[in-house]
Amino acid sequence: MKIFYGAAIQGLANREERALSNWELIKTIRACGEEVVFDHARAKSPEETAEFLEKLIGPLPPRGILRMKHVRKKMIEAVEGDIAGAVFEVSVPSLGTGIEIAHAYLRPRMGLEGIPILFLYQKGYWPGNLSTMVRGIPLEEMSNIEIGEYDNLEEAKEFLKRFLGSLKKIKSVQIEI
């Protein structure tokens, strides 16, 4: 199954700050036998981000607005594409990740199949805590959305494994029908 992974990268003063956590979560998805559609959130620098993106989507235009438009288009195509679910690490606020979340969340309104979504949030990491726009999602009405608050990376990995396991169950039920 293909899984979209999104996380803040540009809002950080130092990308290395969350790169290791993102890489560990991406490796966990792969260890569970799933394909990660975008894995550039593991990059430690803008140059490494561009390198990872080129491996994923091909040559990038030169730095500037054309590159930004190209990358945005490809990421939106991915989150609206053939994916079984989406995982967003939301410990750091991010406008870009918010746009990706909106496209994942609103897939049914766009005539696309809805997908399960997991938000992972490290408790107390960001001074303002988890965004109201995520925290305020009515989970009792949205059975396809889950929020996993974790204290450490091992706990985040356990949330992720359970989420991926539930996707496999959903997929096997769909195949049987």
pLDDT, one tens digit per residue, over 28-48 is 999 999 999 988 989 888 888
Q: Reduce the DSSP state of residue 57 to 3 states and report it.
A: helix
What pLDDT shows up at residue 37?
A: 93
Q: What's residue 174's pLDDT?
A: 53
Buried b / exposed e along 56-89 (16+ C-beta atoms within 10 A): bbeebeeeeeeeeebbeebbeebbbeebbbbbbb
Residues 6+ apart with CB under 8 A from 80: 103, 107, 110, 112
pLDDT of residue 171: 62
Give the pLDDT of residue 140.
Answer: 86
pLDDT for 16 equals 78
| C-alpha–C-alpha distance, residues 79 and 109, integer Å | 14
User: Residue 75 contacts by C-beta under 8 Å, 6 or more apart in sequence?
Assistant: 38, 100
What is the pLDDT, as a whole number, of residue 116?
Answer: 97
Distance from C-alpha of 119 to C-alpha of 153, rounded to nearest angstrom: 14
Residue stretches of the chain with pLDDT short of 50: 177
Per-residue pLDDT, 172: 54
User: Does residue 30 sit in helix, strand or coil?
Assistant: helix
Domains of the chain plus CATH, in order, are: 2-176 (3.40.50.450)
